[in-house]
Structure 1
Amino acid sequence: MNPGMSTVRVERSGAVARIVLNRPDRHNAQNPAMWAALRETGAELSADPDVRAAVLTGEGPSFSSGLDLAELQPGGFLHTVAAAPEATALVRDAQAAFGWIRAAPFPVVAAVRGTAVGAGIQLALACDVRVVAEDATLAVAEVGLGAVPDLGATVDLPALVGLERALDLILTARRFGGTEAVSLGLALRAVPAAEVLAEAVAYAERLAAAPRAALSWAKRATREPDPARSLDLAAQGQVECVREMLSARTMPRAASRSGRTAPRA
């Protein structure tokens, strides 16, 4: 077990996994240990055929306050990146902690309360759906600090809100709330903070009622930006799903004809 796994907790309820950022004393500020734990969590859940949806949230009042300020100190992640010959590879390792969400064979719903800025909002943006608190504090803060949002905002924001609005949020680094996030198109709905987690879990449970193959292929095809490739993925997925559907319907009949008792639905 990765020692950093204590920074991420996984809970299971049926076909829905709950991924909880677990540094509430630091408002779930992110560091390399948390990124390693997220990568490991993603690999484990993606390989589990019983997981059909996931909810990503933060322990305590905040989703994630972004990069832990300790990583700005000597010996921290940013100093390591600045001095490393393989600096770009280190950043890509951090990106992979978020990137698995886009490739996961099931939908991931972010339940966002409190603060989600910098790396925090970028983690939420990597998810497929966002349920946010009306009074949440959101910001793509990096440019305002002299840095670049390198964990996915440059990909996810334009896809969600269009180029002009994405550039506005990234270049101004301005703060905005959950209600505006919905109006901009980067969150599905905004609810009172006390209702966020329950709303996200209920939504994930609704999604998890569908077969995993249908969820996986539909997500892949919809996230694919190239139209021809999207249609190709949809066609491949349809063939697999139809075969599974017909196989599930014909197997009990075949069992009955052979003299065996068909399993109850």
Structure 2
Amino acid sequence: MDERIDYRVNDGVAQVVLNRADKRNALDWHSFKAIVAVQKAIAKDKRVRVVILSGAGEDFCSGLDVKSVMGKPKQALGLLAKWWPGRANLAQRVSTGWRALPVPVIAVLHGRTWGGGLQIALGADFRIAARDTDLSIMEGKWGLIPDMGGSLALRELMAADHALWLAMTAERLGAEKAAELGLVTEVCDDPMARARTMADTLMDCSPDALAAVKGLFRRHNLPGSGRLLAAETWRQCKVLMGRNQRIATARALGKERDYEPRRGW
């Protein structure tokens, strides 16, 4: 496995740790590839009954490593490319891949959980947050849209008006407010201990029943998932081709520039 991910299985529980602490677990091209590789390994390993997903260091994941990814246009395009519109691309699979696994996935959150980091967490079935967790759909700050598949979970978890506000404004939320809105499952002082207790409870359940229940909830509860994934990618590509996205980036970096008139949508 890539060193960006620490992956091990103990007594049926897969521990997956985002392991780029010196970069606040920011996602570069290799991080995306490594996460998807771990998801594939878990799907093939019948020993795995529960997954606990966490981040090393001060933060769960601060989002996209913008300098690394955007500095290499072929990699940026590789994240968005897909053979079929309704299928998940590489960027989306780091979120949707957890949803597709036939085992429960518990995300343990702390510190910055921004942008792509929040999208990854939204792919989990349960999100247990430390009290210091800072959450944001940060893409809006950079004039982008959330395009990593987390929208599937957002429309399940939150009222549409709250989800729209967070996606439009990139507003940052503390853990308690996020729990109030349904963005996280639970807030506690020791989220890893809580996750392990939950894993113990799930280990007492039939793995076949767990897989069947998850399949019912994840695959059949809402129509149009493929259309949503296709729309995410198409709209993000259109946003990236416009000048206002570059203006948003400049503004996020402290350079005052006026936006141009909205493009036709």
TM over 0.5: yes
- The answer on whether the counterparts of 1:15 and 1:52 sit within 8 Å (CA) in structure 2 is yes
Over the aligned positions, Cα root-mean-square deviation in angstroms equals: 2.2
- The number of residues matched between the two structures is 219
Sequence identity percentage? 31
Alignment of 1:124-139 (within 5 A): 124-139=121-136
Normalised TM-score (structure 1) = 0.77
Aligned to 2:74: 80
The one-letter code matched in structure 2 to 1:44 is: A
The one-letter code matched in structure 2 to 1:138 is: L
> Could you say what secondary structure the match of 1:89 adopts?
coil
The structure carrying a bigger helix percent of its residues is: 1
1:68, CA displacement in angstroms?
0.9
Q: 1:210 to 1:89 in 2, by over 3 A?
A: same
Q: Distance in 1 between matches of 2:31 and 2:68?
A: 12
Aligned to 2:217: 222
Alignment of 1:64-213 (within 5 A): 64-71=61-68, 73-75=70-72, 79-80=73-74, 88-89=81-82, 92-192=89-189, 195-213=190-208
| CA offsets 1:45-96 (integer angstroms, 9 cap, x no match) | 1111111100000011210000013225532xxx3367x5995339812212
Q: Distance in 2 between matches of 1:148 and 1:218?
A: 31
Bigger shift: residues 201-210 or 60-69: 201-210
Q: 1:125 to 1:73 in 2, by over 3 A?
A: closer
- The answer on whether the counterparts of 2:95 and 2:121 sit within 8 Å (CA) in structure 1 is no
Aligned to 1:60: 57
Q: 1:217 to 1:73 in 2, by over 3 A?
A: closer
- The answer on whether the counterparts of 1:19 and 1:54 sit within 8 Å (CA) in structure 2 is yes
Residue 46 of structure 2: which of 49, 58, 76 is its match? Answer: 49
Aligned to 2:235: none
Alignment of 1:30-41 (within 5 A): 30-41=27-38
Normalised TM-score (structure 2) = 0.77
Q: 1:212 to 1:85 in 2, by over 3 A?
A: closer
Q: Which of 1 and 2 has greater Rg?
A: 1
Alignment of 1:221-240 (within 5 A): 221-226=216-221
Q: Distance in 2 between matches of 1:86 and 1:172?
A: 24
Gaps of 5+ in 2: 224-265
